[in-house]
Structure 1
Amino acid sequence: MIERFFNSSVTPLETKHVSTWNELLLNREQLVPKETRDFGISECVDAAEDIFSPEIFRDWDSLSPETKESMIKEYANRVAKAFELNCYKGVYFEDMSPSLLGYNNGDGSIHLNRHYLNDNHVSPIELIDTITHELRHQYQFEAVRGLHNISDDVRKEWKTGFEKYTIDSPYVYDPWGYIYNPLEIDSNYAATTVVREITKDMINGNWA
């Protein structure tokens, strides 16, 4: 099961630290070739900007849980299409530990913390980030099984990533545990790139 955590003091890691370490890694040679790394991302950006308009960002706190759930599921559907997933079973909300954002276990579904629907302090940016991240993991699951056309080198890296994946301390900090695991590097890149692009468009007035 591939998990993601809130930015908190709860082990095994802090989301803020993951972002910082990932930025450092992205300045070095990438584990995944650009053509694979960027697959589907522009379509995810388009989906995010179509669904979560600046007005939605502004009024998010006043939206009902039902409206939020509908928009979340719509974005997830678009991301699944962007990554051309062979198996997509939707979004499920669960009561989870406050430190856990959500998870994907490779069966085509993503599970999100119900906190996303009920806490008005959660930004749509955080939702976009987590949904993109978790569905990218589904793409990785399928790619390792030969359902997507990726290079043999990338398939081997991701397969090794699954075999070595752990969130148990202290191995979470091991290069193949969690922080530097190629699966997390790729999913963090996909999600943060979508966030970066929509943020850039909003700041520069290119997102109406």
Structure 2
Amino acid sequence: MKIGQAEYIISAVGPAQYPTDGLPEIALAGRSNVGKSSFINKMLGRRSLVRTSEKPGKTQKLNYFKINGSFYFVDVPGYGYAKVSKKEKEAWGKMLEAYFSQRSELSAVVHLVDLRHPPSKEDVQMHDYLDYFGRPIVTVATKADKVPKGKHQKQKQMIIHDLGLGADEPLLLFSSVTGAGKDDAWRILEPFLK
């Protein structure tokens, strides 16, 4: 995939602010600090289109990025670490539920997990949640460069087992440092961009 254009469009808190051009959307979900911003920047060949933060949990809205004028990446709030009030978390929950359950333009979700660790309870809940809404899920294990190659297969099997991934559910290893997995990710996402 050749990226000619990538631009931030809007931070939306509800359907009234979602783009109305009907283009396909790929949502990116994952725990705070799993490397969502780095994934987006690497996939788009940009250094800092999405700000990476030392403080996990900075994304608090649905951030829309328009790619090549033909589809969107939608960065959703990370779960897990964010030091936010219970009330705020409930508001996020409602916003995400409305988005994942009702948004017809949402064609797939990239679910990012950390290759170095077993999936967290929240990772498992997110996968089950997306599954429940019948959304196609592409699971991406980030930080692959931080795990010795000899351990990749073992870590992959652990993620497949813990998330209950079926034989037809893609799981790919990704490194925003080396770019490993980038071409595979585009190949898997391409059918959802039409």
More strand by share: 2
Superposition TM-score, scaled by structure 2 size: 0.30
- RCO (CA 8 Å, sep 6+): is it higher in 1 or 2? 1
More helix by share: 1
Superposition TM-score, scaled by structure 1 size: 0.28
